[in-house]
Amino acid sequence: VPDVSGLCGTVPSGIYLPFPTAPGSYLDKKYASLFPNGDGTNFDDGWIFATGTSNAAAHVAGCAAILQQAARESLDRRLTPGEMKAVLTRTGRRASRGRNAMGVRADQDPEGACGAGLVDLAAAVAELENL
């Protein structure tokens, strides 16, 4: 179970998040075709639409970087890993429906498929005032 989750897609394809890739690369060719069998992009355009933990990790990492920068600007210090986790889990948006690939319900907070919920960066930055 993750502590927090990034954006995820819907069944059956989970096509939701745009990601750059090398134009004409294996991934570009693999996922290119018309929806619902593919992501709706061209095989040589350098974009794929996908979902999952690999894709969500980049979004959560980006949110953590922005949160760390906000902490340096507003608190004049870096957040510890424990503080970062606490802020992100306190401010996550709770999932109310859906299941992961293993059948775990998303709404079993915080042990569900989405952990403490989807990252809410605006709420996390606002939460810095409470540290």
Higher pLDDT, 113 or 61: 61
Q: How far is CA 31 from CA 17, 38, 45, 78, 127, in A?
A: 13, 5, 11, 39, 39
Cα 37–Cα 42–Cα 45 angle in degrees, nearest 5: 135
Helix (H) or strand (E) holding 62: helix 53-75
For residue 91, what pLDDT is reported?
94
Checking if the pLDDT of 2 tops 90, the result is: no
Give the pLDDT band (50/70/90) at residue 64: very high
Report field, pTM of the whole predicted structure over 0.75: no
